[in-house]
Amino acid sequence: MPGRRPLLLAGVVVALAATTGAAWLHEIRPRPVADPTAQTSGARAEKTQPPALTADEERFATELWALHREATRSAVAMSFAGISYHTDDRDPRAFARKIEPLAKFFHDAETQVRTMNAPPSLSGTHAQYVDAMALYANAAAEILKFTEDGDAQRLGEAHRMDVKASQDMLRVGEVLWPGQYKPH
């Protein structure tokens, strides 16, 4: 009667051989040829492409894009200013110096976006972007009030407005510039 070890070793070798054989048979079996139109239809069903912008919509998107690039950069700068205040210096005057030009930018941007002529099909998107700029301007104003009176609740309110404005900007971006890089 053979010992246990040789039987165990033989069992492992047989199991490995069976697994290898099954894998080999799986790899060499013929595969059905997929219908390329069925695959494409399935992919389209998962994620439909939005319709192309009309010439008027494209004009508006291009005009807004010039401001949007700077608005994105300024939103990130405002977030970094807040992070820097909390982690580095805690100097309200230095914080205010960082926020003041951003507050002016967002106030001016709100005014500029309000005056843009959006096609009727993008009126909701236009309004959402105006609201985002107003929220950023109000958030910056709250931060500046905090630097004067030290009321920390103002920072919480400014953060809430900042987050909402960021979400609104991203939603507008998905309509006008799908697939845009999102830095937030």
- Residue 27 CA to residue 21 CA, distance in Å, equals 10
Q: Is residue 164 part of a domain?
A: yes
String of DSSP letters for 43-102: HHHHSPPPPPPPHHHHHHHHHHHHHHHHHHHHHHHHHHHHHHIIIII--HHHHHHHHHHH
Q: Is residue 86 part of a domain?
A: yes
**Residue 17 corresponds to which amino acid?**
A
Q: Find, among 43, 79, 54, the residue nearest to 184 by Cα.
A: 79
Q: Which domain holds residue 116?
A: 55-176
pLDDT given at position 142: 98
pLDDT given at position 143: 97
pLDDT given at position 8: 65
Q: Is residue 40 part of a domain?
A: no
Q: Is residue 121 part of a domain?
A: yes
Q: Is residue 97 part of a domain?
A: yes
Q: Is residue 112 part of a domain?
A: yes
Cα distances (angstroms) measured from residue 112 to each of 39, 61, 129, 176: 46, 14, 11, 18
- Residue 160 CA to residue 167 CA, distance in Å, equals 11
pLDDT given at position 122: 97
pTM of the model as a whole: 0.73
Indicate the number of domains in the chain. Answer: 1
Contacts of 135 (CB under 8 A, 6+ apart): 161, 162, 164, 165, 168
Q: Is residue 77 part of a domain?
A: yes
DSSP-based three-state secondary structure for 28: helix
Could you tell me the CATH number of the domain that includes residue 124?
A: 1.20.120
**Residue 178 corresponds to which amino acid?**
P
pLDDT given at position 68: 96
Instruction: State the 10-residue block means of pLDDT for the chain, 184 residues long.
Output: 64 69 68 60 62 94 96 95 91 96 98 97 97 98 97 96 95 90 56
pLDDT given at position 25: 66
Q: Is residue 107 part of a domain?
A: yes
The 3-class SS string of 99-147 reads HHHHHHHHHHHHHHHHHCCCCHHHHHHHHHHHHHHHHHHHHHHHHHHHH
- Residue 133 CA to residue 107 CA, distance in Å, equals 7
Residues in the chain: 184
